[in-house]
Amino acid sequence: METSTALLLVLLLIISLCWLLTLRSDKKHCFPPGPRGLPLLGNVHQVDKKAPYLTLRKFSEQYGPVMTLFLGLKRAVVLTGYDTVKEALVDQADDFVGRQPFPLLVRATKGYGMAISNGSRWQQLRRFTLTTLRDFGMGRKKMEAWVQEESKHLVAGMAEHKGVPFDPVFFFSCSVSNVIGCLVFGERCNYDDKDFLYILKSVGDFLRFASSPLGQLYNIFPRLMENIPGPQHAIFARIEELRKFIISRIQKHVETLDPSSPRDYIDCFLIKLNQEKDDPATEFHYDNLVGTVVNLFFAGTETTSSTIRYALNVLMKYPKVQEQMHQEIDSVIGRERCPRMEDRKSLPFTDAVIHEVQRFMDLVPFSIPHYALKDITFRGYTIPKDTVIIPFLHSVLKDEKQWTTPWSFNPQHFLDQTGNFKKNPAFLPFSAGKRACVGESLARMELFLFLVSLLQHFTFSVPGGPDSVDLSPEFSGIGNLPHHYKIIATPRN
């Protein structure tokens, strides 16, 4: 027992000495300033576990737009404000192109796929994915037709409740997932498919876990969390079911593949895999196919469905905004014709509301963390290789220099004095630069077509009235997730 105690004390002493040397090194090499932390914990004990973005905002007021935090033993540099984030991700794009091997995503994808890869793997997979998704209609007429068709299923499903309160999560998850499913799998699933519904719930539960205090701890101390009891093990078991679901779909594609007539993303990947099977430098292999499809499923399902759900929360909170959208949609499209993307330019207020929903929601406040693949010089500071880099998107979407009323929901942020839509360069909910979301154009299309279709047919309210709607996040971590409400979808006669 005495020997074990002595070894533990020696270990703690070594860690403390390393920590002190790190602090001295910070001064010597002109690293960005930041709050002092503790050995092992770093600054973790200072972070608000329920709303970590509030802590970073407070720190940035004291330490400036480029600051250092320690998440456990891991150094992280936080970039705050529109000017700082743009300078890094756009003006110095090549320096900041790295992606952190995010422990939760590494565990879910087994380290493969596009989202958390770097170097040649990332370049090959991203280029192929962007090209393939565009070929299959992402952001174009073919995809528009898919979203329009899915919106009819969504409206029909909601109409069945006939004004009785219900939870809309199921409908939004199914609709959005079916759109990405058309691109990736070449088909949609029925809303009563039990396997499909189980997979959707698994994706949603994973994102909620990732945004919980336990999920944040997993990203900081993954080895520790792997070896102690907790809900993380059940969550990862569910993700393994998702992987099996995807693998079964891939196997069906292998058995029915016609190289002369690819049906979807998986077919195109399999064709590329066969073409480059003898190339030792290729990244087109089975593990990367599974990992990338997992990436697309995560990115293409829960994020967009949560944004649609938050948009309804906003409209139930502010019924006058909803009424003005109704009037504009009625005057331009009516209640019978399917909305089209070309209608957006004739619906400036509706477009402004959708943009303001994304800005105010602040879905991914920290972006997906970047990574220093080499020593970086930025604004006179040194950011060492292997540093986690956090482009603090919350500080961009709430930047007081860029938005008139950043802390209020205000569609006028996207309207000029004559009521026409106006862009704002600080609107970066999909991040910016070379790591910006590959599905941005699809997400924009879905948000517009789904929401306009819903408002053509329904007036939305909540049983407790507007004052019962809380627009602050229910969970905040990797994502700001909206509160759940049963809604009333009253048909518009």
CA-derived radius of gyration, the chain: 24
**Residue 383 tokens, joined:** 């950011």
* Of 173, 130, 399, nearest in space to 300 by CA: 173
User: Phi/psi of residue 78, each to 5°?
Assistant: -105, 130
Rounded CA gap, 255 and 273, in Å?
15
- The H or E element spanning position 133 is helix 119-135
**Residue 170 tokens, joined:** 């199921």
Other beta carbons within 10 angstroms of residue 400's beta carbon come to 11
DSSP string, 369-435: -EE-SS-EEETTEEE-TT-EEEEEHHHHHT-TTT-SSTTS--GGGGB-TTS-B---TT--TT--GGG
Angle at 77 between CA 425 and CA 35, to 5 degrees: 120
Rounded CA gap, 38 and 47, in Å?
13
Which residue in this structure is represented by tokens 């910070």? 26
Query: Binding residue per annotation — 437?
Result: yes
Q: Residue 442 burial (CB < 10 Å; 0-12/13-18/19+)?
A: buried
**Residue 377 tokens, joined:** 């010089």
Identify residue 47 by its one-letter amino acid code. Answer: V
Contacts of 464 (CB under 8 A, 6+ apart): none
* Of 77, 111, 480, nearest in space to 306 by CA: 480
What's the full length of the chain, in residues? 493
**Residue 432 tokens, joined:** 């910016």
- The H or E element spanning position 143 is helix 141-159
Q: Residue 472 burial (CB < 10 Å; 0-12/13-18/19+)?
A: exposed
Angle at 35 between CA 31 and CA 41, to 5 degrees: 100
Rounded CA gap, 65 and 78, in Å?
8
User: Phi/psi of residue 458, each to 5°?
Assistant: -135, 155
**Residue 323 tokens, joined:** 């009424």
- Report the binding-site residues: 437
- Report the binding-site residues for heme: 437
